[in-house]
């Protein structure tokens, strides 16, 4: 898919990766970008960007967004939340419900709602912002990783279901990105603009999947190693 003259809808567009998407889309010639956020006042004003009130956990808000944005040719499901802690933590069940509601069901709601819009506008494309945690779960972000695994499975299914209407479906995987979401976590982080540039390069190249940093590429490759990357290292 070509970005020039596209009409995009980006969820969670008021900061981090979402904000970087709005800026890069405009830089590449997108005709219009709808920027979804729970509070539209938090969306940074940019020429060509239209702020939209959106809560992906509320079907009514999703339906209202579809009614307002009937010209969309590119949907970017970026909205997401993370919560530190393992599944044995006292709050793990509450955290898991929240992560799945936003990171999985929110993506499902938006994809189902906008699929007919994309079809009516020639097919277009759908980008799901996933994670290296789609494949590995060390317990540090246990519920988040589970929700991203579910979202990866959803993305793979949507690729098949939307093929007939010629909608390109791209999965974006990466490790830590330098955003507020993982500010408290130590470790190397890639900048949001770099992640977005690679994602849109992949989209325009017709790719199904973008592995946006070296660590993610290494983990994906090692999924079929004798000791797969999703297993803990053996003690020496």
Rounded-to-integer distance, Cα 65 and Cα 113, Å: 9
**Alpha-carbon distances, residue 132 vs 78, 100, 204, 216 (angstroms):** 15, 17, 22, 6
Closest CA to 77 of 115, 47, 44, 42: 115
Rounded-to-integer distance, Cα 138 and Cα 90, Å: 17
- Supply 132's token pair: 């290296």
- Supply 192's token pair: 């949001």
In the DSSP assignment, the letter for residue 190 is B
Per annotation, catalytic residue among 34, 144, 176, 230? 144
Active site residue 144: yes
CB burial of residue 151 (10 Å; 0-12, 13-18, 19+): buried
Q: Compute, in degrees rounded to 10, the torsion defined by CA atoms 58, 60, 61, 67.
A: 150
Q: Which residues participate in catalysis according to the annotation? A: 144
């Amino acid at each position: 898919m070509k970005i020039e003259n596209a009409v995009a809808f980006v969820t969670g567009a008021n900061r981090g990766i979402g904000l970087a998407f709005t800026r890069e889309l405009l830089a590449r010639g997108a005709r219009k970008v709808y920027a979804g956020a729970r509070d539209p006042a938090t969306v940074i004003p940019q020429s060509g960007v239209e702020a939209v009130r959106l809560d992906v956990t509320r079907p009514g808000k999703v339906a209202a967004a579809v009614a307002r944005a009937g010209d969309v040719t590119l949907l970017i499901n970026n909205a997401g939340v993370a919560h530190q802690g393992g599944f044995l933590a006292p709050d793990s069940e509450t955290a898991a419900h929240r992560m799945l509601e936003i990171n999985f069901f929110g993506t499902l709601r938006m994809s189902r709602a906008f699929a007919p819009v994309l079809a009516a506008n020639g097919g277009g494309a759908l980008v799901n912002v996933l994670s290296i945690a789609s494949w590995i779960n060390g317990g540090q972000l246990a519920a988040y990783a589970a929700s991203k695994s579910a979202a990866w499975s959803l993305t793979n299914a949507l690729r098949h279901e939307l093929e007939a209407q010629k909608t390109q479906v791209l999965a974006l995987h990466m490790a830590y990105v330098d955003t507020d979401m993982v500010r408290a976590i130590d470790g190397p982080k890639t900048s949001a603009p770099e992640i977005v540039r690679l994602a849109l390069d992949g989209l325009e190249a017709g790719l199904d999947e973008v592995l946006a940093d070296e660590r993610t590429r290494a983990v994906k490759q090692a999924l079929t190693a004798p000791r797969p990357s999703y297993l803990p290292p053996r003690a020496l």
